[in-house]
Structure formats: C-alpha cells, structure tokens
Structure 1
C-alpha cells in the first residue's frame, strides 16, 4: 500500500484545482477560501471539516499541516487584461500569504496558477527573488504559459503556471493535445461537442431550484447539480435577432449595422469575439465570470445551420459553462446564479489541474 499524497488548496474557489488533484489520487487536508458561496461549494464536494472559510491572513500558523503539495491561484484581478491593471491593487499582494503557508507546510512541491499577464508583473519578479535567496530559497522554479486546450480541455484558456520544487527541478508538463497534431503523436484538441452536445437545447427554467443548505453555520442556496444549473435567460426580441445572424466562429461583425448598438457601430475594429458563437469542432474561448452575456465574449451556443432550420439562439447555461471547465456531471454547487457563475469563471479547468497533478505525482 502506498500513502496518498496530500494537498493544501489556497484561494481554492469552488475547487477546480482540487478536483483535478483528487482525480489523480491526492487527498486534500486543508483548503482556504474567503467567498462564502465558493467555500460552500468546495465543502459540498470535498468536505467541510478541512475547509477554512475566511481571510487567509487570519489562518493561524499552527493550523497549517505539513503536506506533499500546496496548490492555488492567488487573486489576479490586478493583473488581468479585463481589470484596471492597478499595480497597487491589494489583491496582487496575496501571493505573499501563499508563500507564508508554503513556509509553514514545507511541501515537496508547490504550484501557483494565475493569469497569463502575471509573468509580466512586478509581483512575479518579487516571487523570483524569494526563490533566488529569500524564504523560498529551497525551491527551484519552473514557470511558463499553459493552454488548457493543449491538455484535453474543451476550452482555450492560457494561464501562467509556476512549479516550485525542493526535490529537484520539475519542468512544466508537456502538451498532450494540439490544434493541428499532424505527425506529432499528440491528440487533436477537444471541441465543445464533447462536453455539451446532447444537453437540452431549451432550458426548462431561468431560475435555480428553491433549496438551501448550511455550511459554516450559514444558510446558502444549494446544493445544486447537473441540470439544476442548466438555467436559461429571457433575451429581448432584438437580442434574438442579433444572435440569429451569427454563425459558428462569427461575432458582432456578422450582425447587420441596423441591429448593432451605437457603441459597436462606431467601433469598427477590436473586440472581435463579442456576440460570438462557439463551434462544435473547436474548444470554446476562455469561460469568464459573465459567460451568460453574449456581449462579453464568444458565448452563444454552437448550434447554428446556414439554412436556418436548426439554430439555438441563446448564450450557454451555467451547466454548459461548468462542463466546458471540465467539472463532472455530479459536481454540486452552492450560491446564487451570479455567485455560481463567478465560481465557474474563476475556476482552474479540471482537466488542466489533473494533467499537472499527474505530472507532479510521477516525480514526487
């Protein structure tokens, strides 16, 4: 019998990264999350006893166990292309709390996930300095950008991954999939069809079921799973007319001018993916926290035929977004519609986390 490797998940969110590591046989023994709904979702799926709901800065040092691997993605709003790119954003400093936990837990390996711009930030340079001669001097770092689609996820999502190891340098995992594999021996990218084809094209409701659950002595909406979160919206007639003009892979430039809002008519370039439609044979674009709004990206359902006989003119549902993130059918969710959407959009794709976990596991 071999001992199951243990993890701590920091800024755990709903548990996308933990889900990938559990898939590879790891055992989570501590998770830290500040948002109630996300912490409740994590607890519903992985256990409440080891879930610390609160500010990571208040996590007592004595409550941090020794583990094999520390994982997590410190908040990245200050680095995001969609954010203000405010270098003084206090959320940018939370990676220091991550380092504090690493020092206390003494893992063999730690893994940081963040937005692609993180590697260009001053905070990243400070992290490198910590490894060069500071509190992380025992760890050798590998870092770079990984695209979730290159690891079998039905989503193009490029993230910064940092692997720190004190058991010998661990390079980032090699891709298993490619857009055009040819003679590379890699598998082709996975399209949206693999994850959402066959789900009801017309969601039965626009609301979550009226049920509640209790976590951390707080009552939250939940526990929902599967088609419980396959909720639709009520687009206006104008929105439906716009959607109807957009073919797979298309976007706002396919909508006739007379149907466009003034802001789009007067902006002839840029923001090419808004009002976009997914393609069955390709991974989706990045699933963000407002995937239910077509004006925010390429979030229209991929079903569309040129003859106009079979078109699904709506944005993807919460359930479809969760499936594109790689969450299993029986994964349970807690929170409001907006709260669950935020959890889904902020999560690490399960398939990417699982690939990293498998790679690291073989080297520990």
Structure 2
C-alpha cells in the first residue's frame, strides 16, 4: 500500500507506517533540521521541503494513494501553549484537508493533541474540519489513544482523526484491543544505554538542575513542581510523562542515576516526604549530583525510535524533533488497523461501538 506523509518532522510516524507495510512515496516538512533527519533515515521517500501550500498541487498528481497521514503543528491547540485559534499554525489542519481532497486516498490519519479533539473552545474548528472530510466522501471518526496502553513507556494522549472512503468495515474501539500491552519500565528501556556521558549515551543535556524555592506539592513525588523549570523527575520503575518538544533546557525531564543504576533510595521521594511533613525547602543548589537530565538517546528510545536512527541539527533541535514525534509504536498500531481495514473492506466486526460519520470515541 502507498502512503503520503505530511508534516513529517523527523519521521517517527513514517517509521510506524513502514513497519505496518506501507510504502511512503512522498513526504512534506518545512523545518530544515527535521528535513535533514528525514532524508538521513528515509532515503527511498521523495521529500518536498518547504511550505505545504507550495506542493499541494504537485502531491495531487500522485495516484492510487492508500493513505495520507501526518500531524499538523499542535502549538495553537496545546494546553501547554496559548491555545490560540488565530495562530497561523492552527490553520494547517485545513492544509492537511486540502491534500486529502485533492489526492483522494482511500484513507487518512491526522494526529494532534488531545485538546483539539475534546475542548469546547475548538468545537467550531473541529466541526468545520470534519464537515470538509465528510463532504469529500470520508466516514470520519475521532479516537483518543494513550501511548502507554500499547507497550510504550510514556503517558501521552493524542487524538487521531481517521477517515475511510468506500468501506463497509468501520474502525471501532475493538479494532485496537488486540494491541493492548503493558509497557516496560523506564529502567528496562534506558538503562541498557549506560550512564549519561558513556559510549552509548553521550548526548547529554547540560541544563542545570536547581530546586524551587516555593515548591508546588502533589501526592506523587513525580508530580508537582519541586524543581525550577518544567522538567519533571521521572520514576525509573514507572513510565514517563509526555515528552515535550521544549526539551533541551530546564524543561527536560530529570533522572536519578543512583536510583536508576545502583538501586539507591530515590532522593526525590525522600525530599518530597520531607516537604509533605512540613519541612522547609532546601536551598536551590542542594540537588545531589546523581540527578541529571534525560539524554537525547534516552528520549529517542522512549519515543520508540530505532537505536540506529540518525538525528541531524543542533541538540536543541534534535530534542524538539523527538518531542514533536508520534511514538513509532503508536503510529504502527494506527497504521496496522488502517491497513487491515483497507485490506478487508467487507469484513464487519459487529461491535456495539461501530460508528458512523462524525462520531467521537473516547479511548483511555
């Protein structure tokens, strides 16, 4: 099956679609460094670099396309940002629709942050987008998936707009159940790389770790705000919170190497307990040397990129490429479900959650 990749970034979604058997014949990305990364890893795909509006007509000449997929920029919709509908990047969801209308693939998959699919603030925008897909002939659904439900050690919820043309086999909640898998712990995933700065884990983040003078406490020591910046501590025996595209500075998550490699009692938990009992915050420079930031290679593994994946550009841009990506394994799940649906268009699952046009599915 043939696919077109839009807003491709570093190509994380492409990795998953290729693993599901798709041949990605064309892609589009505007960021220079992400384009360099994409070319280094997807040499068989024709990459159109630049504004997608400049290539819509060119892409329209590609024929017999099975799927158009991609993740338009989410900054205008993210709860971590300004949630600004007037942000020019917010209009790029309609650029995705432009390509779908012109190429007319058998299916499409558009990824974005959960807020776009659920907040009332974006209801009109959602309605306008889905109306265009339906007018173009696509049964369109919204499904929210969390990466950690599919064997990925990261709690990362994203919404997927999935459209199908000329099929009697609907995609339902049941379509994803066979992919359920308990994720490994952070320890299992990143500890094989070795300590930060060693041969297989050299791309360290040098952002200093300082304690907040007015910490914000939550029940979990791995929530709240114990440190300056928005980099949260990670529990090696648990899963990561959503890795942000703003990693590289003080928003990069924090790891306790003594806990990770030597099974020492986690300092973060001890400090949190001290504060919860009414103890005074320590001085800002009191964080132990065993605490350090997540490395580039560790972040890439937590997003599911292959070990030999080549990233290009300054480290800050590489962190951004990783944080912006769709986890490769989650992309594979979506791609495989779509692939099976297209391969067997007359098969019906007879599931009670079967859906018609424009129905939202909440999938926790």
- TM-score tier, shorter chain, comes to 0.7 to 0.9
Matched, 1:45 2:18: no
Task: Look up the match of 2:130.
Answer: 128
Task: Look up the match of 1:211.
Answer: none
CA–CA separation in structure 2 for the residues paired with 1:141 and 1:240: 46
Q: Secondary structure at the match of 2:162?
A: strand
From 242, 247, 256, give the equivalent of 1:291.
247
Q: CA deviation at 1:249?
A: 4.6
Task: Look up the match of 2:255.
Answer: 301
CA–CA separation in structure 1 for the residues paired with 2:37 and 2:336: 24
Q: CA deviation at 1:333?
A: 0.8
Q: 1:131 to 1:321 in 2, by over 3 A?
A: same
Task: Look up the match of 1:155.
Answer: 154
| Alignment gaps of 5+ in structure 1 | 178-185, 206-225, 243-247, 265-273
Matched, 1:196 2:197: no
User: Deviation digits for residues 248-283 of structure 1, max 9, x if unmatched?
Assistant: 953566x5xxxx77xx9xxxxxxxxx4532122322
Matched, 1:315 2:311: no
Q: CA deviation at 1:339?
A: 0.9
TM-score by length of 1: 0.76
Matched, 1:31 2:8: no
Matched, 1:355 2:333: yes
Correspondences of 1:219-258 after superposition (within 5 Å): 227=201, 230-233=203-206, 235=208, 238=210, 249-250=221-222
Matched, 1:98 2:100: no
Q: 1:353 to 1:47 in 2, by over 3 A?
A: same
Task: Look up the match of 1:12.
Answer: 8
Structure 1 range deviating more: 29-38 or 103-112: 103-112
Matched, 1:22 2:18: yes
Q: Is the Cα–Cα contact under 8 Å of residues 10 and 71 in structure 1 kept in the other structure?
A: yes
Q: CA deviation at 1:292?
A: 3.6
CA–CA separation in structure 2 for the residues paired with 1:227 and 1:23: 26
CA–CA separation in structure 2 for the residues paired with 1:60 and 1:139: 19
Instruction: Identify which of structures 1 and 2 has the higher relative contact order when contacts are C-alpha pairs closer than 8 Å and 6+ apart.
Output: 2
Structure 1 range deviating more: 163-172 or 14-23: 163-172
Matched, 1:331 2:309: yes
Taking only aligned residues, the RMSD between alpha carbons, in angstroms, comes to 3.0
Q: CA deviation at 1:75?
A: 1.0
Q: Is the Cα–Cα contact under 8 Å of residues 34 and 56 in structure 1 kept in the other structure?
A: yes
From 255, 264, 277, give the equivalent of 2:233.
277
Q: 1:324 to 1:302 in 2, by over 3 A?
A: farther
CA–CA separation in structure 1 for the residues paired with 2:196 and 2:212: 14
Structure 1 range deviating more: 334-343 or 191-200: 191-200
User: Deviation digits for residues 29-76 of structure 1, max 9, x if unmatched?
Assistant: 010000010011111111276000010000051443121110001111
CA–CA separation in structure 2 for the residues paired with 1:316 and 1:251: 16
Q: 1:276 to 1:75 in 2, by over 3 A?
A: closer
Task: Look up the match of 1:54.
Answer: 50
CA–CA separation in structure 2 for the residues paired with 1:46 and 1:354: 16
Q: 1:275 to 1:129 in 2, by over 3 A?
A: closer
| Alignment gaps of 5+ in structure 2 | 215-219, 268-287, 343-364
Q: CA deviation at 1:204?
A: 4.7
Q: Is the Cα–Cα contact under 8 Å of residues 56 and 99 in structure 2 kept in the other structure?
A: no
Q: CA deviation at 1:17?
A: 0.5
Q: 1:363 to 1:155 in 2, by over 3 A?
A: same
Task: Look up the match of 2:346.
Answer: none
Task: Look up the match of 2:144.
Answer: 145
From 173, 176, 184, give the equivalent of 1:174.
176
